[in-house]
Amino acid sequence: MARPIIVTGGAGFIGRNTVAELNARGEDEIILVDELGMDEKWKNLAGLRYEDIVSPEEFLGLIEEDAYSDARAVIHLGACSSTTERDAGFLLRNNYQYTRVLCNWSLAHQIRFVYASSAATYGDGSHGYDDSDEVTGLLRPLNMYGYSKHMFDLWGLKQGLFHAGPNRTDESGAGNIVGLKYFNVYGPYEDHKGDMRSVVSKSYRQIREDGVVRLFKSYRPEYEDGGQKRDFIYVKDAVDVTLHFALQPADAPGGLFNCGTGMARTWADLARAVFSAMGEAQRIEFIEMPQALQGKYQYFTQADERRLRAAGYTRPFTSLEDGVRDYITGYYLPQER
């Protein structure tokens, strides 16, 4: 029987798309770890093939009993992804401490461990978007979500877990892990994320309801309204990068890598792409940014791709226009028929 692949956050946005791609590649010996709660996230499971789904707490109990120790890989995507979450203790437990437990367990059993970091770790971008180890320690995230992700990046760096060579067999049992700094990911199956879903999803709903897209005004003179820039990556590309590393042997090289296109685009570009995909006339309005966000807002992000490419990932990324069109026409528009 095939060795299982564990996907935490398996019913979530990137997780659901990851499992679907694993299925497309003939993998169905998959253990999902997720808390379905009271919302509609369970609907993301429809059409997926997997062996079992367990809650995060139940999973911790099972691995203490030596379950799943034959796993092939742990793809750790489960976390609180709310950039506005103010409960620092919750973020500490959920995004940092839980990740450490899974990482140590994976290393102890020589299981490939790939986890989700975030471009939020870069803060205001004053140190650029270089994912090298030398820069990582200099970063200052702007919110507790970003800091909770940054904490684990720093811990992995301190422990030497992003080692580029063959898996070590010293008495610490340390090996190699992969962290992926996801930039602005958008795509199907993100509806359950509410206010944390992408602006592509929000724009589609706004156009359907009001015929207009509302974007935040700029509060920095070097950026016009709608001219703030982000690195938008289609979820299918984010999944492909994830599986590029996750399906390698446990002793393959590790590292902390950006997962973005390397091409910053404006929010106005994004809105125009949504209007075009929907075949609607363009109408953009600019609104005030909430006071609480104004000092914690990233005006520019753009992944430095050099380390990712050097690690052997060669596929080109989907353009913003093509990704938005595929998302809208392949996911949202069919729901209207």
Q: Which of the residues are catalytic? A: 145, 193
CA distance 62 to 143: 33
3-state percent helix, strand, coil for the chain, nearest multiple of 5? 40, 15, 45
Which of 33, 26, 7 lies closest to 18, judged by CA?
7
In terms of DSSP H, where are the helices of the chain? 13-24, 56-64, 88-91, 98-108, 133-136, 144-158, 199-210, 235-246, 267-278, 291-294, 306-310, 320-327, 333-335
DSSP 3-state of 297: coil
Distance CA 104, CA 173 (A): 9
For residue 313 the two structure tokens come to 């990932």
Q: What is the DSSP string of 229-248?
A: EE-EEEHHHHHHHHHHHHTS
Q: How far apart are the C-alpha atoms of 176 and 298, rounded to whole Å? A: 31
Q: Alpha-carbon distance 186 to 119, whole Å? A: 14
Q: How far apart are CA 198 and CA 51, in angstroms?
A: 30
Determine the Cα–Cα distance for residues 136 and 154; give it in Å rounded to an integer: 7
Using CA atoms in the order 313, 315, 228, 304, what is the torsion angle rounded to 10 degrees?
Answer: 30
Residue of 206, 202, 208 whose CA lies nearest to 186: 202
- CA–CA separation, 31 and 33 (whole Å): 7
